[in-house]
Structures are given as C-alpha cells and as structure tokens.
C-alpha cells in the first residue's frame, strides 16, 4: 500500500485535491463531480455579477413582478415585495456558496456531508426535478417567442397552422427548435456559458430600457402609470396576498440558494463570489422588477388591461422590426437563465446518482427530456397557479434542504469538511449504509410543516381549499421560512450533544492518506 498527500490548503483558505488517485477509483467520483483545481478557479466578481444579470433578466422574473400587478398590488407594493424577497434569499445563497469556493465542489457533493454519500441523492434529485420543471417553462417561453417571430415573417399559415393537442403544430416545432439550441450550448461546457453570459447580460438590459422608454412615451409619462391605485389597499386584503407572495419571491431563487456551489466552485476567491452575487442578484432583480412593474402598469393605461406576458405584449407592436428585436431579446434572456440556472445544476445532480454511468452531458439530456415530459405549459396558465401552486410549494421543499445545509456546514462542521471522504465509501460521510438519518429526518419534518397544508383558492389551483392537512394550512403562507427554520432546528437537535463540536480539519491535508 502506498501513501500520498491527498489535499492542499492554500493561504486564502481554499482546499485543493492535489492527487485524484486517492478517490478516482471510487464509484462516487467522476471528472465532473471532482473538485475544481485552483488554476481553473478563474471566475471574477464581474463573471458572477454578469451571471446574475443574465439569470435575473428573464421572462419568468418579468412575469413574477408583473403578476403581482395582475393580483392587485400597486407598483410600490410589488417593488417592496420583490426587493425584500431577494434580500432574504441572498442570505442562504451566500452561506451555501462558501463551500463551493473553499472546496471546489458542486452542490450534490456538498450535500454528501450532511445526508450521506448515497443520501445526498434525495436533495439532489429534488433540486433536479424542480430544475426540469423550470427548464420546461423557460423553453416553452422561448419557443413561443420563436413562434411569434416566425409568424411575423411567414404570415397566417404559420401563425394559424393546424393544431396538435390544442396548439398549432408550428408552436410545437418552435418549442423543440429552442430546446435544441439550449442543449447545444450546455454541451459545449461551462466556458461557453461564461462567455455567453458576459455579452448577453448588458444586451438584455439595454433592450429592456428601450422598451421602458417606449411604454413611457405611449402612456404619457410616469404620472398615469404610477398613479394606478392598489386594488388591495394596505389593510388585511394586502397582507393576505403579501406573505404568500413574499414566500414565492424567495422561492423563485431558492433553487440557486442550494446549488450556487455549482458556480462558486469556479471562483477565484470568496471575496469575488460574495461581492459579485451581492452586486448581481438583489440589484438587478429589483431593477428588472421595477421595469416590468412600470411596463405592465403602462399596458393598463395604453390597452385598458395589464398584460403580464411580454411575448403577448411584443405581439401588440405594429413594426415587424421592433417585434423581432423585442423577441430576440426574449430569446437571449431565456437561453441565458435556462442554461445557467436549469441545466447546469441538474446535470450534476443526475450525474451524482451514478457518477460512472452518467456524465454532465448525460445529465443535461435527462434534464431536457424531463423538461418536456413535465408539460410546463400548464404551469403558466394563470398568476395564481404560477405563484401560489408552483413557486410557493417548491419553495417550502427547498427551504427544508437549505436549513440542513446551513446547520450542518456552519454550526455542526464549522466549515471544515474532509474533501477526500466526500468521495469515499469508507470515509466519515458514509454514515449508515451511505445515509445520514438525521439529515433526511430533519428535511422531512421541515417539508411536512412547510407544505403539508398546501391549498388553492377556489378554482385557482390543484389543491383542496382547506389544505391537504387542514390544521397545517396557516403555515403554508410562510412555506419557505417554515421549512428552513424547522429543518435547521431539527437537524441540530438530532445531531445530539456533540452536534456543535468542531469538525476536525481535513486530515488528508496534514498527513498522508492511503489510497483505496
């Protein structure tokens, strides 16, 4: 048996796997899940800021803000709700991002420390399936944009083609064309994504500002727009809508609050990723929110009704060139967020199930197929379904995972993980047959309390009006917060009297480790 030094800890605190022979024979290791070498951790503050600009400026985030107007809020109420939600979700996002930068590991490998090497597949697959839903939603939106552009070019025969499953066959063709474009970009790898985000981000901002100017001219300035009254007031009617909406705003990026290590593993340092994300997420989301709020409020003035779908709004323009530019921007924005937020993560998550069989590319293909099978067009039928059924439900589920990650990494392990053991069957994270019952039980408790009382308003969703578990119904309005707090406390309780002890530093960095 030979021994080798397995890892090195650099002066800035980042840990590097110096010799992969310590783990490369493990069935839980492949090159995509492996720690990123420090020479390849090159993402700067600008790269992270551009990543968030590209991801924040997309159609679902536009409709997220616009739908609050459609639900009866005025521009002040909608803006405050979105801004507060993004400031709150930034906290767990930065806490979980730390491990990616320090150890160079993606989210499913990070989760192994708290769920077990096998048990990590539970939160990873949950995150992956939600990403598949989002991939399908974004691809459907992009395909709709392609269909509108083609309709302007080819005329009625394309726009009013014969229908399949209640929709023109040309819309299905546009959907699958857009699907192919996205899969091609992710097939090229992370460096292609980084370059795409760098130019897509400023382009989308510029065109969004042009659309805002057009709306202001048509509506007669800010006055008529900002004077649109709230239909909810500031009484009980507003607060009844506010708290579920706030949870939905948080849920919108609760996906990335888990899997940001997939991106921060490429960071040049903690300062770069923290500053880039802090500058990128809340500022750009708030900026884009106010754009979409003003534009949607402007459509109320111009057309007599709030148009919360930007593709439907673009189709109202008379000038074909303007329509083409607006929808091309929609396509760029959609590709930008979909590839980054909804393909990168599940490609790693599916690979984590069988690292020797499923590569990152294979995981991306699985994501693409499931994104179609989920039939995303149903999730966009109304603001009620979009916000209260889709966003709020999965927000509670993912908040329950975030609570375990934060408790485990910061309070139990105190940011000290053994990098080699994250890939080894005989390491400290194997727990009981590869599962940590504490992590799984804590997550289950959080999920039960967060979404057990899920309900829908009459005729506005798939759930019973009284809630699946009626006595838990009041908790559902606070689903993400309930899930996070409940799972965090439960995990700390279940780890027992030694739960707060400091995890020994990575022993492989200080002493040789035998190769398996």
Kindly report the backbone phi and psi dihedral angles of residue 9, in degrees, each rounded to the nearest multiple of 5, phi listed first. -105, 120
Residues whose CB is less than 8 angstroms from the CB of residue 91 and which lie 6 or more positions away in sequence, other chains included: none
Determine which helix (DSSP H) or strand (DSSP E) holds 163, and give its type and residue range.
strand 163-164
Gap between the Cα atoms of 460 and 11, Å rounded:
55
Of 2-16, 267-281, 314-328, the range with the lowest mean pLDDT is 314-328
Gap between the Cα atoms of 247 and 250, Å rounded:
5
pLDDT mean over 47-56: 81
Question: pLDDT tens across 237-247, in order?
Answer: 888 888 888 88
Question: pLDDT tens across 157-166, in order?
Answer: 888 888 888 8
Place of tokens 């509108």: 148
Q: What is the pLDDT of residue 249?
A: 82
Gap between the Cα atoms of 138 and 146, Å rounded:
12
Highest average pLDDT, of 16-30, 276-290, 350-364, 411-425, comes from 411-425
Q: State the DSSP string of 303-360.
A: HSS----HHHHHTT-S-HHHHHHHHHHHHHHHHHHHHHHHTHHHHHHHHHHSTTT--H
At 225, is the pLDDT very low, low, confident or very high (cuts 50, 70, 90)? low
Question: pLDDT tens across 227-237, in order?
Answer: 666 677 788 88
CB 395 within 8 A of CB 160: no
Q: What is the pLDDT of residue 62?
A: 72
Question: pLDDT tens across 179-222, in order?
Answer: 888 777 777 655 555 566 566 667 777 777 777 787 788 777 77
Q: What is the pLDDT of residue 511?
A: 37
Q: What percent of the chain has pLDDT over 90?
A: 30
Question: pLDDT tens across 385-428, in order?
Answer: 666 677 788 889 999 999 999 999 999 999 999 999 999 998 99
- Cα–Cα distances in Å, from 466 out to 396, 452, 453? 18, 11, 8
Question: pLDDT tens across 69-121, in order?
Answer: 777 887 788 888 888 988 999 999 999 999 999 999 999 999 999 999 999 99
Gap between the Cα atoms of 410 and 347, Å rounded:
26
Gap between the Cα atoms of 211 and 228, Å rounded:
19
Report the C-alpha dihedral over residues 103, 18, 512, 270, rounded to 10 degrees: -30
SS3 46: helix
CB atoms within 10 A of CB 299: 24
Task: Report, in this order, helix, strand and coil percent for the chain, each rounded to 5.
Answer: 70, 5, 30
CB 76 within 8 A of CB 314: no
461 pLDDT higher than 70? no
What is the average pLDDT score of the chain? 81
Question: No. of H helices and E strands in the chain?
Answer: 22, 6
Gap between the Cα atoms of 390 and 226, Å rounded:
29
480 pLDDT higher than 60? yes
| The model's pTM | 0.82
Q: If you ran DSSP here, which 8-state letter would residue 505 be given? A: P
- Cα–Cα distances in Å, from 61 out to 16, 79, 98, 185, 310? 36, 12, 25, 22, 11
Q: What is the pLDDT of residue 5?
A: 56
Ramachandran bin of 134, using left for φ above 0, alpha for ψ from -120 to 50, beta for the remaining angles? alpha
Q: State the DSSP string of 236-273.
A: HHHHHHHHHHHHHHHHHHHHHHHHTHHHHTTBS-HHHH
Max Cα-Cα span within the chain = 80
CB 351 within 8 A of CB 358: yes
Of 14-18, 143-147, 279-283, 404-408, the range with the lowest mean pLDDT is 143-147
pLDDT mean over 294-299: 77
Angle at 123 between CA 390 and CA 187, to 5 degrees: 85
502 pLDDT higher than 60? no
Determine which helix (DSSP H) or strand (DSSP E) holds 3, and give its type and residue range.
strand 3-4
Q: Quick one: which of 185, 159, 156, 490 has its CA closest to 336?
A: 185
Question: pLDDT tens across 122-131, in order?
Answer: 999 998 888 8
- Cα–Cα distances in Å, from 294 out to 42, 280, 297, 314, 488? 38, 21, 5, 15, 39
At 276, is the pLDDT very low, low, confident or very high (cuts 50, 70, 90)? very high
Q: What is the pLDDT of residue 328?
A: 73
Q: If you ran DSSP here, which 8-state letter would residue 456 be given? A: -
Q: What is the pLDDT of residue 363?
A: 80
At 503, is the pLDDT very low, low, confident or very high (cuts 50, 70, 90)? very low
Of 301-310, 349-358, 363-372, the range with the lowest mean pLDDT is 301-310
Q: What is the pLDDT of residue 1?
A: 39
Gap between the Cα atoms of 108 and 95, Å rounded:
16
Angle at 403 between CA 397 and CA 406, to 5 degrees: 140
Place of tokens 């294979």: 362
CB 258 within 8 A of CB 107: yes
Q: What percent of the chain has pLDDT over 70?
A: 84
CB 476 within 8 A of CB 455: yes
CB 296 within 8 A of CB 308: yes
């Amino acid at each position: 048996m030979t021994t080798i030094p397995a890892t090195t800890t650099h002066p800035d605190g980042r840990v590097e796997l110096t010799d992969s022979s310590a783990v490369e024979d493990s069935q839980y290791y492949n090159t995509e899940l492996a720690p990123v070498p420090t020479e390849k951790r090159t993402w700067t503050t600008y790269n992270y800021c551009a990543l968030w600009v590209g991801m924040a400026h997309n159609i679902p985030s536009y409709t997220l803000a616009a739908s609050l107007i459609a639900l009866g809020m005025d521009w002040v109420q909608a803006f405050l709700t979105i801004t507060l939600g993004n400031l709150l979700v930034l906290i767990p996002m930065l806490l979980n991002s730390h491990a990616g930068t320090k150890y160079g590991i993606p989210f499913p490998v990070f989760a192994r420390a708290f769920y077990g090497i096998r048990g990590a597949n539970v939160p990873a697959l949950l995150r992956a399936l939600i990403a598949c839903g989002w991939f399908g939603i974004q691809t459907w939106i992009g395909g709709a944009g392609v269909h509108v552009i083609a309709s302007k070019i080819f005329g009625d025969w394309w726009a009013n083609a014969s229908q399949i499953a209640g929709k023109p066959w040309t819309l299905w063709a546009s959907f699958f064309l857009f699907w192919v474009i996205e899969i091609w970009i992710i097939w090229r790898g992370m460096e292609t994504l980084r370059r795409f985000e760098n130019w897509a981000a400023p382009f989308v901002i510029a065109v969004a500002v042009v659309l805002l100017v057009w709306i202001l001219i048509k509506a007669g300035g800010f006055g008529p727009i900002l004077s649109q009254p709230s239909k909810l007031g500031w009484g009980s009617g507003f607060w009844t809508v506010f708290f579920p909406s706030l949870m939905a705003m948080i849920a919108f990026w609760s996906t990335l609050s888990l899997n940001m290590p997939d991106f921060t593993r490429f960071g040049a340092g903690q300062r770069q990723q923290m500053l880039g994300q802090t500058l990128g997420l809340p500022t750009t989301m708030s900026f884009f929110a106010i754009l979409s709020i003003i534009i949607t409020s402007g459509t109320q003035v111009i057309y007599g009704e709030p148009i919360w779908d930007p593709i439907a709004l673009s189709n109202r323009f008379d000038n074909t060139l303007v329509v083409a530019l607006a929808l091309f921007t929609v396509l760029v924005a959609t590709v930008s967020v979909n590839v980054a937020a909804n393909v990168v993560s599940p490609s790693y998550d599916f690979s984590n199930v069988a690292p020797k069989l499923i590569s990152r590319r294979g995981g991306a293909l699985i994501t693409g197929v499931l994104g179609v099978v989920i039939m995303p067009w149903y999730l966009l039928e109304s603001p009620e379904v979009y916000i209260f059924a889709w966003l709020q439900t999965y927000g509670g589920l993912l908040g329950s995972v975030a609570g375990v990650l934060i408790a485990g990494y910061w309070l139990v392990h105190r940011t000290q993980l053994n990098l080699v053991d994250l890939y080894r069957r005989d390491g400290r994270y194997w727990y009981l047959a590869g599962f940590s019952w504490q992590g799984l039980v804590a997550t289950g408790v959080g999920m039960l309390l967060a979404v057990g009382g899920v309900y829908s308003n009459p005729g506005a969703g798939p759930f019973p009006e009284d809630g699946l578990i009626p006595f838990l119904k009041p908790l559902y309005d606070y689903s993400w917060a309930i899930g996070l707090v409940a799972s965090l406390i439960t995990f700390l309780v279940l780890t027992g009297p030694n739960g707060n002890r400091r995890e020994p530093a990575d022993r492989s960095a200080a002493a040789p480790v035998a190769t398996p």
